[in-house]
Homo-oligomer: A and B are copies of this chain.
Amino acid sequence: MSTPEKEITIYDIARALNISAATVSRALMDHPSVNINTKKRVQEAAQEMGYRSNQMASNLRKRKSNIIGIIVGNLNSSFMSNVIAGVEKELSDAGYNLIISQSLDNINKEINIAQAMYNNRVDGLLVSLAYETENADHFESFVKRGIPLVYFDRVWPHPQCPGIEIDNVKAAYDITEHLVTQGCKRIAHVTAYRLSSVAADRFAGFKKALEDYQMTFDENLLIQTDLTLQAGIDAAKQILAMENRPDAVFVTNDACAVSCMQELKRNGIRIPQDIAFAGFNNDTEASIIEPNLTTVDYKGYQMGEVAAQILLDRLNQTDNGLLKTSNKLIQPSEIIIRDSSLKRK
A residues whose Cβ falls under 8 Å from a Cβ of B? 1-5, 7, 47, 50, 52-57, 60, 63, 65-67, 69, 75-76, 78, 81, 84-85, 88, 92, 97-102, 104, 109, 112-113, 116, 118-121, 141, 143-148, 160, 229, 255, 258, 262, 284-285, 288-290, 314, 319
Contacts and interface: CB of A to CB of B under 8 A. Distances in A.
A112 B1 CA distance: 25
Contacts of A116: 66-67, 97, 99
B84 A120 contact: no
Contacts of A319: 1
B88 A102 contact: yes
Nearest to A116: B97
A7 B84 CA distance: 31
A50 B145 contact: yes
Nearest to A140: B50
A187 B130 CA distance: 46
B55 A120 contact: yes
B99 A101 contact: yes
B98 A101 contact: yes
Interface centre among A52, A54, A255, A290 (most CB of B within 10 A): A52
A159 to B, nearest CB: 10
Contacts of A120: 55, 65, 67, 120
Contacts of A113: 97
Nearest to A2: B146
A256 to B, nearest CB: 12
A84 B75 contact: yes
Contacts of A109: 92
Nearest to A229: B284
Nearest to A60: B7
Nearest to A85: B76
What are the nearest 3 A-B pairs in CB distance? A56-B56, A4-B146, A76-B81
Nearest to A141: B50
Interface centre among A56, A109, A143, A147 (most CB of B within 10 A): A56
Nearest to A54: B56
B92 A148 contact: no
B1 A146 contact: yes
A104 B88 contact: yes
A144 B47 contact: no
A75 to B, nearest CB: 6
A60 B102 CA distance: 27
A278 to B, nearest CB: 17
Contact of A258 (B7, B66, B255, B288): B288
A101 B289 CA distance: 31
Given A54-B56, A99-B99, A262-B288, 17 more contacts: A1-B148, A1-B160, A2-B160, A4-B145, A7-B60, A52-B141, A55-B121, A56-B56, A65-B120, A66-B116, A75-B75, A75-B84, A84-B102, A92-B109, A99-B100, A100-B101, A285-B285
A47 B104 contact: no
Contacts of A288: 258, 262, 285, 288-289
